[in-house]
Structure 1
Amino acid sequence: MRMANSPFLEIPSEDWIASNDQAFAVFDGFPVSVGHSLVITRRVVPTWFDATADEQSALMDLVNVVKRKLDETLQPKPDGYNVGFNAGDAAGQTVPHLHIHVIPRYTGDVDDPRGGVRHVIPREGNYLKDAPAEPAGGNAKFAPTLSVGYPHSPLWEQLSWRIAGAHAVDALASFVQSSGLAVIEEQLFEALRSGARVRILVSDYLYISAPKALRTLVGWCELAAEEFDNERLQVRLIETAKLPTEPESFHPKAWRIIEGSRDFISVGSSNLSKAALVSGVEWNLLSASTTSEPSHLQFSAAFDSLWQVASPLTAALVESYAESAAKYRQKHFLPEADDVQEIPDPRPWQVDALASLARVREAGHSRALVAVATGMGKTWLAAFDACQFGEEIGRRPRVLIIAHRAHILAQAEAVLSRLLDHRFESSSTAWYIGNQSDLSSELVVASIQKLSRPEGVQRLAEQHFDYVIMDEVHHAQAPSYRRVLAKLDCDFALGLTATPERTDGVDVATIFDDNLAYHASIGEGIAEEALVPFHYVGIKDTVDFRQIPWRNGRFDLAELEQRVARSERMDRLWSTMEKHPADRTLLFCCSRRHAVFARDWLASHGVSAAAVFSGDGSDPYGDSLERLRTGNLQALCVVDMFNEGLDIPAVDRVVMLRPTESKVIFLQQLGRGLRASEGKSRLLVIDFVGNHRIFAQRIIHLLSSLPSRFPRRTIATCSSQHADRSRRRRPVCRQAISFRQANNRRWLATSDDSAPAAQ
């Protein structure tokens, strides 16, 4: 297969886009996408396997150069690449001169790109079990499946991961209960944060829908409108008596979830209740496709038809519905639908914290702060203490909840209303968010953004609350929080945070009269087995962070990205990962390009990986989460996600690929992997220990995560093998730090042999 001359050699050097001593690159004369390039050996070599090691190395070096050039010059920037070569006639090689294809790929350029270069044999292209590729056309059809409910296949197991990463969600239920909203709340707001459009249709059929649940939906719409936009979450009520068809019954229950080119529908028996979604025997037929299936098109048309005749859900409509429902039940003697929601008992740490808060009030203090590690249940603590306060005053307390994020307020309202309604007489929730400006109820939920405006501050000064909860108060030094605190009239205010320190070094406890009533550390969670122990491994960083500009309390992103996206840094990580294996890894990256680089680098080493971030170029969000959860994906590279919000308990290794400037963020990222999960015995933490001052705080952060109520002994040793003389004299953490406790639990922090001493 040798040839004396090659058409590639006829290309003049001025048309080359890059070159080195062994190879050159040109644009392909018959491109399959914009930017399609060829990297060719200068010597006429038939195939890759005939090239020398130096030529092979030079070719791959040039592939990287070409990829960088294409990223810099193409608009829009490519979302991915196919890189490969053909070797031999049977493999499709038509020019017997070694050349490597570098093909830019763009989201949506084919319906289902999974399988990549495997599509040289079309029927083998897409090997994923749930998405078999068709022999032609590249589109994927998914075999319909049946979800039969508890215990084998609850519908929520199929919906949850799809909703979290969806671009659009349509839900239809004949009735809705508060327990169902509690099930979907976290994933729904995760989807909204990621830019999804959500439409929910419920009905007044037999007045089974709970007025309380409908009020919650009105509040959710206001939350979404204030934090996102008015169109992001919409809810409508189907008034069956006004339907033009005048049906005798109304029983549809269905979902449509769209993520990229994938269209999923579920039609069956599950309404919006916990029993229907999680714990009941419900049958639902599931169908997914990347093609325009007739049934999916029919679903879309039918949903839109109902949507057009339904009424937008407003506070006034809900009150009218509640009055009609009460009259209907009196006349027809129909009991309300059973919607019992379990009330958990306080955890041991919460019992201690409640006792401490009671002592703070007994001492005459009206403010206190509780610092609670991620995943420990701070919202439930606030609810328990609000009830405790109510018992102290002998009635249901009037409670105000203040926070800055929609999902935090939604979660807090669900927990507080459930527990307060259980312990005292029931009451509705008032919302001071978006277009809602009600401060009159026994439970008021308010966004700090609206409450801190002049009108909000003035109205707040006219109100008195028994108990106020301020969540995520490490934001409390912001001017908006100061304005609210100055006008707040309450008997007791509880601040909640993951850490008493802010990123700017301000001690949040001072805002709460220096009353740090309790600190529920990661160690407490480990001791109670709500969290798993962690093994910390610090490895020496190859980046000199002293050379990177520091602006406004963080590194210059462009310079940081250039420094950390280097193969030698990943080589060091790879060596450590091989020494400390795990099943599911979460890697925190500093930018989108960094995440894509890390994903591709891991993939080149045989690790199934995905890069997930907001914006274009991300791998499918929900699908990636589900594949990681089920073990079909080994690594997830993320950017500014999972610091707060959605958890993946099965993660058993986290990697800090980005330099974290904040203790708050560091502990939040650490917390992402600490959730207990079946079969998980510990979390492995791999961290790059650099030469910037921030990294000297790592061990301090870890020490602060230990339980405060147990005695602890620390052992710090410094290996002199790799440390210079000045460092040997310092009592620093070097080879190992072990923490042992009275209950014989253990936390272990180690350094890679090449790591420097902490400074």
Structure 2
Amino acid sequence: MTKLQLITKNLVDTINTLTEEAEEIYILTSFVMKSGVKKILPSLKKAALRGAEIKIGTGDYLHITQPDALQLLVDELPEAEVRMWKSGGKSFHPKAYLFRTNGLGHLIVGSSNLSASALTSGIEWNLHAPPAVDKDIFEKGLEEFEGIFHHEYTIPVNKETIKQYRESYDQFHREQSVVKHWTEAEETEMIFAEPADQAEIVSEPTEPYIVSKETLYPRPAQKEALDALENTLEEEYDRALVVMATGLGKTYLAAFFARKFKRILFIAHQKELLTQAKKSFQHVMPERTAGILNADYKEKDVDMLFASVFTLGMKHHLESFAPTDFDLIIIDEFHHAATNSYQTILDYFQPEFLLGVTATPDRMDNKDVYSICDGNTAYRIHFIEAIQKNWLAPFVYYGVYDDTDYSALTWLGTRYDEEQLLQVQLKEEMAEKIETAWKKYRQTKTIGFCSSIRQAEFLSQYFNQKGWKTIALHSQTKSYSRQDAIKALDSGELDIIFTVDLFNEGIDIPSVDTLLFARPTQSLTIFTQQIGRGLRVADGKSHCVIIDLIGNYRNADIKLQVFDGDPDNKKKKKGIIPTVPENCHIEFDLEAVELLKEMTRKKNPRKDQLLYAYEELKLELGRRPSYLEFHLKAHADSKAIKEFYGSYSGFLHAIQEMTEQEEQVYLKHESWFQEVERTSMTKSYKMVVLSYMLSKGANKWLESITPEEVAPFFHDYLTSKEYRKRIDFSDKQSRELEQYEEKKVATLIDNMPMTKWSGSSKGMITFKNNQFQVHIEVEKEHEQILFKWTKEICEYRLHWHFERKDRVKV
């Protein structure tokens, strides 16, 4: 029997040998050095050439990782996906190498980071577990690797993120008194403290449903959504998105819908969500077989498979299925679906229907879930609307003033520096302020949301000393099991559960009637999810109290938009305090109101949000995002670009993101960019015509065209996607378009986009003698830039037009 192998020197030989035949290679080390990359780069390049999947994760703790090492990986191994853990000063020290060869997994864990000394002559201990030792431990290792690799604390390694890291790396080493640089012979390993914590979630108790002779019936919101999905099927869509507020039963909705299909794949990113979903589906369809695919279970041959996105996304497991094996694929918490982990799976499978379900509107964390579902949002209900229909409990929100100066804390892109934040949070006066607000407004059962484990433990200890019954519930809690904690809160044995992102997705304790936010709001998505934890209807519960500390932290002045059930309504008066349903109430400390007003006066929060979102997306992509990419992937509302800057190029000019030549083009043709950006579009026709012109290329797109010339392109574009035709044409026009009478289409183009646009363009566009032309004088060296930016605006406006129009029907 093959045994564990202890490797104390020349680990590089084992790594290179395994790399030679591996189809999957995963490396996770606390830091990487250029010397270490050079040792394994030749074998990795060969593996990449034969199509192996390569993922490399590292960290920035103590700034030991060398920027040159990252640059070498990006330059020499572009096929690999490389990500870096942003530690914020917290220890990060994994050392693991995983390989899958011919379906069998090898796991190496120990003390060796990715440096020459660690891989060759250094004093290192590493254990190699070959496949025969324990197959399950390799799968468990992969699951843990994926959880860290795609964690929200990691960033992609690319040109832009390396540039940013190099600046912080240089600054860190300038300020330290220790030796700053190592030769290859001098490189030493660092021994760190505890690994970073991973948030966990708890299974949701089975919801009570109306049962008659063992038949379950949908609740009202589910019935509405099912009717909408039925219409979607009749319209011959093959995918749809359902946005349904937390507490309305998204999982059971998916189960009811799934009865129409033979074989089902349900995908989620947490194992507890899979277990919960499996129980719900079996409750609806007890006659079908069900299984789980994750690090612990490999139950593939079933009617209903509940799969971890991380396990299923691995090449070995993914390719064990045929692309057409599943009739229905359901993505839970669909706002995650635009990440690489999900995209790999969605690109592989070809189901009869794809259903995405989420409680979080796609425009809050703004990945492009809309386009994944071909622009079809079948059903959407905001939690405010659900409250108005008495499907969720009303709330009373108290905004409590927090005089902490958060502006002095370092912002790490998605969160504050944890150590700096703790310095202001772990103070008795802060705990006293939180307790005072809680005692004043609380009801009976409270969840307290904290920034970190240390804050949760500190607040729990403080409250307990004051005579309250509380616990800190997190990934390292030993004294209470998750279910025991939930039962204790539900029965009244506990007053508060202090937690850290534990009750964000998929978990509900219906009896919870008080939510305490003892942390700055850093993500509007998470804030929305956490509010949903208190809105479930329960016996004896009249409403939910929300106690929220308001300080000058990021997003404090825009967080209240989550209470706006109709954000697209421009006619609605919007002030500092949002309007909520009659059975709800919002109340602020006077100081908190003044703070929000002052923040709004000092800066425009929407402008700031655009800049933050742009910078974050640029780091993610490794380059300047296009206009459409900003709309689809940035954490901001792209409509504000036109409102504040006239055009996307105007935005880039304002934030100094242009080269000297680009600035010349922008200043000379600013009126043209604004014309394309602002011309009215009740239909898509203008941009379709412009799209045809641009299809001729940078050198010819300004040549005049005729309606007859455009007609074939116009017809093909508007019939290639069913929803385009449905949105922009009446039934009669749709039938005519299907019949494709070129003369009628040409007449339509003549009457609508060409005549109307020429009349409103102030002379920039003319339509005379059947010739449509844009009048722009452009220098030869400026052609490509003018063409590129015009095309970006055109693509953005077409996408936004159909997206907006499709939303109107929901």
* Bigger helix fraction: 2
Larger relative strand fraction: 1
Q: TM-score of the superposition, structure 2-length normalised? A: 0.45
TM-score by length of 1: 0.48
